[in-house]
Amino acid sequence: MRKKNILYLLAIAFPFLLWTCVDEIKLNVDTEQRTLVVDGFVTDSLGDFQLKLSQSAVIGIGNDNILDPVSNATVQLMDTDGSTYPYTALEDGVYQLSNFKALRGKSYFIDIVLPDGNHYQSTPAALRSSSSIEDVTFEVSEETFRNNAGEFVTENLIKAKITTDVSQADPPPFLRWRVFGEYQIQEGYPGALALRRCYVKVNLDLNDIRLFDASQINGDVLYEQVIAEATYDFRFGEQFCLHISQFSISEEEFTYWNNIKEVIDIDGGLFDPPPGTVVGNIRNVDNPNDVAVGYFSVASIFFQRKFVNSDDLDFFIRPKCAGFQRFTPFGCRDCLEINGAVRERPYYWEF
C-alpha cells in the first residue's frame, strides 16, 4: 500500500490545497556531523565487486553530494566458515574484490578497519534463492504529475513491466530491481556524407527504488510489476536496450531500501511520517553507539536485457536527428558530444 503517496495526492486533492505553496526558505542547520558511509555488494554472479568508503557530506557546504573518500582502509569479505576474501584499493575510497562469486548456503559479511583503528563489520547475510524474469513488456501513456517546482506537467512516459516467477524461492523472496538504459543514435545533418552511430548509456533509475515483497502476492507469479519509468523521448526513436538486474535480497536489506525510499520521498505532505536516519547493517565492533550508514548487500541476481521496439508501441517518436531541421540538434553532427557516448557497437545489440 503506497500510503504516503496516496495521502499526499489526497491532501492536494482537497480544493483549498490547490492554493498550496511550495517554495525554498532558509533554515539554519548548523552542524558538522560526519558519519562513515559504506556502499557495496556481492552477488552469486562471478565478477569483480567494488566497495566505496567515504565520510558523509555536511549539509550546506557547497555540493552536499561530494563525499570525502576514506583511503588506506583494510577491507575484506568474510564468511561464517572463517574464510576471508581481501579487497584491494583501486583509487581513493574505492576497493575491489576480484573474481568472486557468492555461494548458496554461506553467510557473508564485510570487515573494515579504518586507518584510525575503528573496526566495522556488517551483519552476516546468507544468499537467497533467485527468481527468474519470465517476461518484460512496455507501455506508453500520458501522465500528469507534479514536478519539483510543484507544478502539474503532462508527459508521455514509458513503463517497463516484468513478470517474475517467484515459485522457486522459499520463503517468498524480497526483490529489488536496478535498470540501466542504453540507446542508439544516428547522426544526421545537412550535407552529411557518412552517418555514424553512437551508443549511449543512461541511468534510468537514479533516486528510483523499486522493491517488492513477494509474500504479498496471490499465487506464484508476479505479473506486470513496473520496474522502471522514463520520459518517452527521442532516445526511443531508434533502438533502446534495458539492462535489468533483479536482486533477491534479505528482509533486512528490503527494510533498508524501503526506509531509504521513504526518506527520499518525503515531500512535506500533511501526512508525512517524521523523518529519521536510515540505519544499515554496518556496526562498529568496539562501540555500539557508533553506527555507520549505507549497506553491504549479499544478494542473488537474475540479469536480462530487453530491447524496446517502438514499432510495437502505439506512440511514434521521431529519431532525434532524422529529417530536415533548421538547426542541427546537439549530438546530431557528432554524437560523441553526448555524455557517455561510444561508437563501438555493443556485442549484444540486436539490430
Partner 1 sequence: MKAAAFTKLSFFLILVVLSTNSIFSQESYQLGGVPKPNEPIIWTGQILSDEDQSPVINAVLQSVGGVNAITDLDGNFSIPLDQKTYRFTISALGFKDMEIQLNARSSGNLSLTLTVESVLIDEVIVSGASEQDQIKEITPGLQRLNAEQLENQSKFFGEIDILRSLQSISGVNNTGEGASGFNVRGGNTDQNLILQDGHLIFNPSHALGFFSLFHPDLVQYVDLYKGGIPAKYGGRLSSVLAVETRDGSKEKFKLRGGIGMVSSRLSAEGPIIKDKVSFIVGSRYSYADWIFNIADNPQVQNSSAFFNDVTAKINARISQTTNFGASFLRSRDDFQLGEEARFDYSTISGEAYLKQLIGDKANLTLRANKGRYQSSLFDLKGNDQSKFTNAIDYLRGKVDVLYIISDTYKLNIGADVNIYEVSPGEIEPLENSFILPDILGKEKGQELALYIENQFNLSDNLEISAGLRYTNFNNIGPNTVNIYPEDQIKTDRNIINVQSFEDGASIASYSGFEPRASVRYELNELNSIKLGYAKTYQYLAQISNTASATPIDIWQLANQHVAPQYSDNFSIGYFKNFGVKKYESSVEAFYRKSVGILDYKDFAKLLLNKHIETELVTGEGLAYGVEFNFRKQTGSFRWDANYTFSSSTRNVQPTNTQVGINRGEWYSSNYDIPHVFNLSVFKQFENRTNLSVNFTYRSGRPTTAPVSSYNSDNVLSVPIYSDRNKFRVPDFHRLDVAYTIGPFGKNMDKFDQSITLSVYNLYSRRNAYSVYFRQNPFDSVKAIRVATLGSIFPSITYNFNLK
**Rounded Cα distance, 344 and 336, in Å:** 11
Closer CB to partner 1, 177 or 319, in the complex: 177
Min CB(292)–partner 1 separation in Å: 10
- Lookup: cell for 102: 557468492
Q: How far apart are CA 158 and CA 310, in angstroms?
A: 10
User: Which of 55/129 has CB closer to partner 1?
Assistant: 55
How far apart (Å, rounded) are the C-alpha atoms in residues 108 and 27? 42
Considering the complex, what minimum distance in angstroms separates the CB of residue 104 from partner 1? 22
Q: What are the φ and ψ backbone dihedral angles of 16, each rounded to 5 degrees?
A: -60, -30
Tell how far CA 104 is from the center of its chain. Answer: 25
For helices 3-13 and 251-265, give the axis angle rounded to 10 degrees: 20
Closest CB 61 distance from partner 1, rounded Å: 8
Dist CA 119 CA 290 (whole Å): 10
Compute CA distances 146 → 14, 16, 151, 177, whole Å.
15, 17, 5, 24
Tell me which amino acid residue 159 is.
K
Measured from the CB of residue 14, what is the shortest distance to partner 1 in angstroms? Answer: 5
Q: Report the distance separating Cα 55 and Cα 64, nearest Å.
A: 12
Judged by beta carbon, residue 28 or residue 84, the one nearer partner 1 is 28
Question: Least distance from C-beta 60 to partner 1, angstroms?
Answer: 6
Task: Let me know the angle formed at the C-alpha of 83 by 288 and 119, rounded to the nearest 5 degrees.
Answer: 25
Nearer to partner 1, 30 or 170 (CB): 30
DSSP string, 238-287: S-EEEEEEEEEE-HHHHHHHHHHHHHHH----TTPPPP-PPP-SEEESS-
* Element spanning 12, H or E: helix 3-13
Grid look-up 519539483 returns: 148
Nearest approach, Cβ of residue 339 and partner 1 (Å)? 13
- Least distance to partner 1 from the beta carbon of 145, Å? 9
C-alpha cell at 134: 519470465
Kindly state the cell numbers that stand for 183.
540507446
Least Cβ distance, residue 15 to partner 1 (angstroms): 4
Nearest to 197 by CA among 184, 209, 208: 184
Nearer to partner 1, 89 or 279 (CB): 279
Instruction: Give the residue with the Cβ less far from partner 1, 203 or 325.
Output: 203
Question: Which residues, listed in sequence order, are joined to residue 297 by a DSSP beta bridge?
Answer: 41
Cβ proximity to partner 1: between 63 and 99 the closer is 63
Question: Min. distance of Cβ 215 from partner 1 in angstroms?
Answer: 9
C-alpha cell at 284: 562498529
If the CB atoms of residues 82 and 276 are measured against partner 1, the closer one turns out to be 276
Nearer to partner 1, 143 or 233 (CB): 143
